[in-house]
Amino acid sequence: MQKTLLIGLIQVLLILVFPLNVTAVGLGVGPTDIEISDALRGGEYLRTIFIKYTGEGQAIMGLSVTGDISDWVAFYERGELTTPVERVTAIAGEWTYVIVQFSIPDNAPVGSTTGTIHVNNIPPEGNGEGGVTVALQGKVDVNIVVTGTQILTGEVSSVTAGDTEVGYPLRIEVHFRNTGNVVATPQIDVEITKDDAGIDSLTFAETRVNPEKSEAISVGWDTDGRELGDYAAHVAISLDEEVIATQDLNFAILPVGTLSRVGIFEELSLQGEPKLGTITKVQATFSNSGLIDTRAKFIGELYCDDELIDTLESEEALVPVGQRDILTSYVTPEKQGDYNIRGYINYEGKKTEVKEISFSIGEANGGRSFNWVILAVTVIAILAGALVYMAIRRKRGKPA
C-alpha cells in the first residue's frame, strides 16, 4: 500500500516539475478571397493578407500556394519587397501582414484562373518533448481574370505646395490614382520661375503605382542658396508621354525660423522580444504636424534595475510636413534585470514629452526564471516525509 502511495506521489510531483504544455491556440487569416479583374499578361499586382495568431509567444507560419496560379505568386514581408519569403513570424495577439505579389506570365490563358493561398504553422524544433503541437491552418481563395488588353490610365485629384524656408526643400505633392490594369509610373515635370524668369526645372518619374491604387507622390526642390521671395511652379503630369493634368502653384521662400514647427511623439516601442546579449531595435514614431519639413532625432536613456547604464540616440531624419517617421536606435541587454527606456524627440531645438517603455530579461527565454531551488526543496521534503512514514510503519511490525 505504501509503495503504491509513494509511486503515485512521485508521479504527481513529476507532473508538477515537468508540466504538460497545452495552450488554447487559434489562427485567423484574411481576407477570405482575393479577386483581380482585368489582369494583363506580363503584369504584376500586389495584395495584402493578414494573419492573427492567438496562442502564446510567437509561431512560425509557412506560406504556400496550390492551383493553377501556384507559379505566379511570391510572398514578401511588409516593407521588404526585395527578398521573397516562405514563412513569417506571427506574434501572439498582433496582426502580421504579408504582401502577395502576383506575376502574370506572358503566356497566361485569357479568362479566369484560380488557386488557394495556404497558411500553416510550422512546429519549432525540439517541440516533441513535454509539449503538444496544435495544427493551425488558414486559406485565401484567389481568382485572377486575365485580359489581353493593356489599359494605362490615371487621374490626378490634386497638386499642392506650400511656402518653405531657405535651405529646406519645397514639397510639391501630387495625388494620383491608377485607373488602368497595369502598373503606372507618372512623370512629373516642374518649371520654377521668379518674376516670370525661368529659375530651374526638374523631372520626377520614380513612383510605381499599382492598378486600382492611389499614391501621394512627393517631389522635392532644393532651395539651398536661393533668393528669398515669391516664386511660381508650373507642374505637368503625364503617362506614356501624354499629359493628363497641369497645375500652376505660387509659393514663397522665407527666412529660416519663419514657419512654425510642431511635432508629436506618438509612440515608443520595441521591435521583437528583447533577449540577453541580442540587439533590439527601439522605435520612436514622430509625426510632423507643423508647416515645414522638420529634422528630428530620438534621445534616450537605458536603465537596468533603476541604474543608468547607457544612452540612446537615433540618426537625424528630415520628416516632411504632414508625415510621420520612425526614428531607430538600438539596445543590447547584457545582464538579467528590469529594464526601462526613457526618452524624447528633439526637433529643430524643440523637445517633445518624455515617453518610456519597460521590459525584463531573465534567463535564456528573456523572461523571469522560475525558482527551481524552492521547488526542488519542496519535492525533497515531501519524499523525505514519505520515507520516514514508511520507516515508522516497518518498526511497528506492519509490512511496507
The DSSP line for 223-275 is -TTPPSEEEEEEEEEEETTEEEEEEEEEEEEE-TT-S---EEEEEEEEES---
Residue with cell 524552492: 374
Q: Does residue 158 share a domain with residue 108? A: no
Phi-psi region for residue 241, left (φ > 0), alpha (ψ -120 to 50) or beta? left
Q: Is residue 142 part of a domain?
A: yes
* Per-residue pLDDT reduced to its tens digit, 306-365: 999 999 999 999 999 989 999 999 999 999 999 999 999 999 999 999 999 999 998 544
Q: Does residue 278 share a domain with residue 164? A: no
Q: Is residue 278 part of a domain?
A: yes
- State which residues form the domain around 89: 24-147
Residue 96 · residue 52 · CB < 8 Å: yes
pLDDT of residue 129: 44
Length of the chain: 400
Q: Does residue 142 share a domain with residue 159? A: no
Q: Is residue 11 part of a domain?
A: no
Reading the chain (400 residues) residue by residue, the pLDDT tens digits are: 555 445 445 444 444 444 433 345 789 999 999 999 888 888 888 999 999 998 888 899 999 999 999 999 999 998 888 889 999 999 988 999 999 999 999 888 989 999 999 999 988 765 544 444 678 899 999 999 998 777 889 999 999 999 999 999 999 999 999 998 778 999 999 999 999 999 999 999 999 998 888 999 999 999 999 999 999 999 999 999 999 999 999 999 999 999 999 999 999 999 988 999 999 999 999 999 999 999 999 999 999 999 999 999 999 999 999 899 999 999 999 999 999 999 999 999 999 999 999 999 985 444 444 454 555 656 676 776 667 667 666 666 655 4
Q: Which of 65, 97, 63 is nearest to 80 (CA)?
A: 97
Q: Does residue 194 share a domain with residue 281? A: no
DSSP notation for 185-203:
--EEEEEEEETTEEEEEEE
pLDDT of residue 381: 66
Q: Which of 56, 60, 50, 64 is nearest to 89 (CA)?
A: 60
Q: The whole model's pTM is what? A: 0.58
Q: Does residue 80 share a domain with residue 132? A: yes
Nine cell digits for residue 371? 525558482
Q: Is residue 190 part of a domain?
A: yes
Q: Does residue 348 share a domain with residue 279? A: yes
What whole-number distance in Å separates Cα of residue 368 and Cα of residue 258? 52
Residue 254 · residue 192 · CB < 8 Å: no
Domains: count for the chain = 3
Q: Does residue 169 share a domain with residue 134? A: no
Q: Does residue 271 share a domain with residue 243? A: no
Helix (H, G, I), strand (E, B) or coil at 206: coil
C-alpha of 91 from chain center: 11
Residue after which a domain boundary falls, among 191, 221, 254? 254
Phi-psi region for residue 130, left (φ > 0), alpha (ψ -120 to 50) or beta? left
CATH assignment at residue 210: 2.60.40.10
Residue after which a domain boundary falls, among 95, 129, 147? 147
Specify which residues 59 forms β-bridges with. Answer: 90
Residue after which a domain boundary falls, among 203, 226, 254? 254
Q: Residue 104 has what DSSP assignment?
A: -
Q: Is residue 6 part of a domain?
A: no
Q: Is residue 377 part of a domain?
A: no
312 — phi, psi (to 5°)? Answer: -120, 145
CA triple 106-243-168, angle to 5 deg: 105
